[in-house]
Amino acid sequence: MRLTALCLLIALAAPTVTSAASPLARAMTEVRADRWEAAWAQAAPAGPVARDIVTWRWLRAGQGEFADYLDFIARNPDWPGLARLRAEGEAKIPADAHPDRVIAYFRGAAPTTGAGALRLVQAHVARGEMAEARALALRAWRTLPLSEAAQEALLARFRDHLAEHHVARLDEMLWQGHFVSARRMLPLVPAGWQALAEARIALREDAPGVDTLIARVPAALVNDPGLAHERFGWRQRKERTADAMALIEERSASAAALGKPGEWAGARRAFVRQLLREGDPARAYRMAARHHLGGGADFADLEFLAGFIALRFLNKPDAALGHFRTLETGVESPISLSRAGYWQGRALEAMGRPQEAKAAYSKAGAHQTTYYGLLAAERAGLAMDPALVGSETYPDWRDAPWANGSVLRAALLFHEAGERALTEMFLTHLAETAGPKGQRQLAGLALRLGEHHVALRIAKVAAGQGNVMMAAYFPVTDLARARHPVPTELVKAIARRESEFDPAAVSPAGARGLMQVMPGTAEAMAGRLGMTYSSRALTSDPAYNARLGSAYLAHLVETFGPNPVLVAAAYNAGPNRARAWVTEYGDPRSAGVDVVDWIELIPFRETRNYVMRVTESLPVYRARLSGRTEPIRLSQELKAR
């Protein structure tokens, strides 16, 4: 056993040092006050890794000189957060830096700023590597905002090489909204492009006289995709929704007409759902199907919506099947793969092809930690996977290749200091490249530390790579031993979704603690229970938070009955919205309402996802808590009254 691994084992076996007594905790207090020298002094007793933690924060804050950045990256090339650190360091590279040192700084990471790109170009020029210098100069010219000095320096060296790319640079700066860089390009482009740029900028900035500027755009450029997108954005901001919708439809004939299809995708998704609510599924289908995206979250949403509308609203299962198969080719996560497979099964059933439908359901049903995987498994008649019980054990972390490394040591120092977010950051960073065995080792370590939240975050990284670790992915915490007025699996499912079992979590909206209870709701529940209300206890006492959160869940069960769909929707979006959706889409508990459709029609993306994640957790947690599997009956559970 290596020395550091032995030291870490001793540290884990010892009582946890309170954050107030930890040298790093004291150092982090100084860090947050920008007292860097004091921070290094406080960190020193904890060793060189603790001092490096302070240096890491110092450099990410834009402090230090180029030599400091170069030294840190050379010593800690595997630390998380280096992209931001490198970007800060790019601005620190002096004009007279040795070319070899500059090239070493960017080894394995391309420049992300104009200043850094210029210094790297100059370094290659100094070494006589002109092909590399020209390629880098062109990349910077076409993609990065540049200061006036950097622009002039690149032009002075590569004017002829860059000349044919001036219009492309201007166009890209306009798309990115870097209008200072865009305006510097105006003297270098033809008059027509100057007029086009002025019109695009005026539209984005809601400047007066925009119609006059648009009128000056020559006929050859009036159909420019960037101009169309700025007009689209202007119409949206002016609440001219019908005009905006007409424009996106007009431009959706091709990817070229959109210019950058991804820039239109968010609005496209919203319009699809608006058209469905307005009772125009044919138009909604066209809006969804003509997205011209090749991958990513927007691709997945829009390709799914196209298939869903074709199947459930237009009675075109053959078209729907094509979309669901395309969806499957462009996604990787179990959640998305199971969704694609389940809906392929539904489309094949509608086409009268039951054997192929069962095969699709069986394939999707392999992902039984997901909402659609469970629904697919139920339709295929599959038994619950015994692995869902979560009885697996995790291998000892001490023989891992990272066990003696500074990233793990930093994570443990953060844990000792009570820095949960940074503990998570460093351990999940290790998990990203650890492979299946290493991920299991990390999850076991996090559970041994009592960091269920961090274990869950590690498990989510692993699940995204196809490695499901049940004991960490659906952790059983002290909540399982407490008494609740609602089923324990519901409390755990809500807590897992709300805070990922982080007892100190605070949302931007002010929801607090394990079950993300709003202070007003918590105070009302405390009054009902005859308890003293404490805002501080919401984030310092998980049991207190869980008692109030579960009381609110009980209140929602009184309101909506034991239906997990409505209870989860109300917990996330509020009871009034849940009631409104019942009025608009029908009661999901009723025999005449398809509850799967109902969930997909929830207008809020967050709430749709929330309901799926909570309901998928219920049978899994029952298996985890009882230690045994059960028949899969999720479709019945979704209809509970």
Average pLDDT over residues 91-96: 96
**Which residue in 498, 500, 600, 616 is the catalytic one?**
498
CA 179 to chain centre: 28
458-485 pLDDT, tens digit each: 999 999 998 999 999 999 987 767 789 9
State yes or no: is 378 an active-site residue: no
What does the DSSP assignment read for 283-343?
HHHHHHH-----SSHHHHHHHHHHHHHHHHTS--HHHHHHHHHHHHHT--SHHHHHHHHHH
495-534 pLDDT, tens digit each: 999 999 999 999 999 999 999 999 999 999 999 999 999 9
pLDDT value of residue 21: 79
pTM: 0.93
- Check whether 19 has a pLDDT greater than 90: no
* Percent of the chain predicted with pLDDT > 90: 95
- Check whether 116 has a pLDDT greater than 50: yes
Domain ranges of the chain: 24-184, 223-331, 406-473, 479-638
19 secondary structure, DSSP code: G
Phi, psi for residue 250 in degrees, rounded to 5: -60, -40
pLDDT value of residue 20: 62
What's the mean pLDDT when you consider all of the chain?
95
Q: What's the one-letter identity of residue 469?
A: M
Secondary structure of residue 267 in the 3-state scheme: helix
338-362 pLDDT, tens digit each: 999 999 999 999 999 999 999 999 9
Three-class DSSP labels, 40-70: HHHHHHHCHHHHHHHHHHHHHCCCCCHHHHH
Average pLDDT over residues 153-177: 98
- Check whether 595 has a pLDDT greater than 50: yes
What number of other Cβ atoms are within 10 A of residue 406's Cβ?
19
Phi, psi for residue 170 in degrees, rounded to 5: -60, -45
Confidence of residue 1 (pLDDT cuts 50, 70, 90): very low
- Check whether 3 has a pLDDT greater than 60: no
pLDDT value of residue 255: 98
Look at the domain 479-638 and name its fold.
Lysozyme (1.10.530)
- Check whether 8 has a pLDDT greater than 80: no
CATH code, 223-331: 1.25.40
pLDDT value of residue 477: 85
